[in-house]
Chains A and B, each alone.
Chain A
Amino acid sequence: GAVVSQHPSWVICKSGTSVKIECRSLDFQATTMFWYRQFPKQSLMLMATSNEGSKATYEQGVEKDKFLINHASLTLSTLTVTSAHPEDSSFYICSASRSSSGSVGYEQYFGPGTRLTVT
C-alpha cells in the first residue's frame, strides 16, 4: 500500500509555455501533499504544502503565481509551472501523507518524480 504516482515522468517544453504535473495517491487518501524540487547534485527543496480543499502554503522564495498548486481531491494534486523558463528545468517530486498537515517523515510517500526540461 501507499503508492504515489506522478505524470508525466518527463516532459520537454518550450520557454514561455505552461506545464502541468499530476500527483496521485493510488491506494490511500492523501489529506496533505507536498511538492519538492531538486536541481542536479542538490538537495530536495520543499516548494509548497497543500491540504485537500484549501490553498497551498508556499515556502519562502517560491512564487505562488508561477507554481500553481491545486489539491481538489483526496487523491490528486497538480502543480502547474506557468510561463516556464530554462531555469525552471528540474526534477519535481511530490509526496503524500495520510494525516492532516502531514506528519513525521516516515508517513510521507514519494512519487517517482517528473523531470522537466525547458528549452
Chain B
Amino acid sequence: RKEVEQDPGPFNVPEGATVAFNCTYSNSASQSFFWYRQDCRKEPKLLMSVYSSGNEDGRFTAQLNRASQYISLLIRDSKLSDSATYLCVVTPMDSSYKLIFGSGTRLLVRP
C-alpha cells in the first residue's frame, strides 16, 4: 500500500466550479501535511500547509482528519490557471524533514 494515495483524475471542470480532492495516508504517526502544486514538467510549489483546525487561503481550503487519516483540498471559483497536478505531501513522525509525496491529482479547468 502506498504511503500517500490520491485519485489521479483528471478532474475536468468548467471555470467557476468548485472542486475537491482527497488524499489518504497510511502512517497514523505522520506529523505534518501539505498540498503542493506541480505544473507540467516543472518543480512542485507549496500551495498550503494543512492543519487539524482547517485553514483557508483565498479560494483554497484545506482540511485534515487525523482519525480517518485523510486530507482534503477544496478549490472554489476555479480559474483556468488552476489547471495543474495537486500533490498531497506528509512528513513522518520520525523524520520531520522527509517529504512523502502522493502521485498527484490532475485538474483541468476548461473555459
Q: Which residues of B contact A91 (CB under 8 A)?
A: 41
List residues of chain B with CB within 8 A of the CB of A113.
Answer: 41-43
Is B97 a contact partner of A97 (Cβ separation < 8 A)? yes
Q: Which residues of A contact B45 (CB under 8 A)?
A: 110
B98 touches A46 (CB 8 A): yes
B-side interface size class:
20 to 34
Pick from B43, B97, B100: contact of A102, CB under 8 Å: B97
In angstroms, Cα B4 to Cα A66, docked, is: 27
Give A43 Cβ to nearest chain B Cβ, in Å.
4
A89 CB-CB contact with B under 8 Å: no
A-B contact pairs, 21 of them (CB 8 A): A43-B4, A43-B87, A43-B101, A43-B103, A44-B87, A46-B98, A46-B100, A49-B97, A49-B98, A97-B97, A103-B96, A104-B32, A104-B91, A104-B97, A105-B34, A105-B46, A106-B34, A106-B46, A106-B49, A110-B44, A112-B43
Question: Which residues of A come within 8 Å of B, CB atoms?
Answer: 32, 34, 41-46, 49, 91, 93, 97, 101-106, 108, 110-113, 115
